[in-house]
Amino acid sequence: MEEKTKMEAGRKKETEPGRLERQLRFILEVDKSKQVFRQTYLSDGSRKENDAEHSWHLALMCALLGEYANESIDVAKTMVMVLIHDIIEIDAGDTYAYDEAGNATKREREVRAAERIFSLLPEDQAASFRALWEEFEAGETPEAKFALTLDKVQPLLLNDATEGRAWKEHGIRISQVLKRNERTGEGSERLWEHAKGLIEKNAELGRLLDDR
């Protein structure tokens, strides 16, 4: 009976005037994520990754590494969370993790972006995606904690693969990386242990400035 009710609700939504058009408009809008470039390089160092590539990478990591979450998580929910977590950067731009001035205005810029971009969707999906984005930002649920762990670990993997290229270009210090990763272990102690090993290795190789 419950499944039948869900199917009927789904069919009702399908008949909403303009619903499909709004969904397709959103899909085309978020295609712009492919044009938002981050500071982290691809693993082969050929160029910097874009937001769409970053989010896809996190979703795949979630599918593969969800077993290492500290708490039981809804993997599908977490995958959607990481797929949408950076689409606000279409408007707000990518704020480099170690840009103090940029991070001071980041929340304000991103909230404005979230209001515009998610509002392109039908009301029910707009509310769902906005809530999921806010959940990620708050970082309190098991899914959000694990998503944030993936978001921190992935750049470490790429920086290690490129011999610290982005770190060296920006003169990043060990203390900055450790500060940024203060909560990384909350989502997965296992992944954080591996990430700490990468940080220590790159510090020893001089790819991070030593200020400890």
From residue 62, give the alpha-carbon distance in Å to each of 4, 81, 140, 143.
31, 10, 17, 10
Give pLDDT tens digits for 73-99.
999 999 999 999 999 999 999 988 888
For 21-36, write each residue's pLDDT tens digit: 999 999 999 999 999 9
Is pTM beyond 0.85? Reply is yes
Across the chain, which distance is largest between two alpha carbons, in Å?
Answer: 63
Average pLDDT of 183-200? 98
- H or E element that contains 172: none
- Tell me the two tokens of residue 72: 């039981």
pLDDT at 101: 87
Q: What is the per-residue pLDDT across 111-133, written as a single tens digit (0 to 9) for each?
A: 999 999 999 999 999 999 999 99
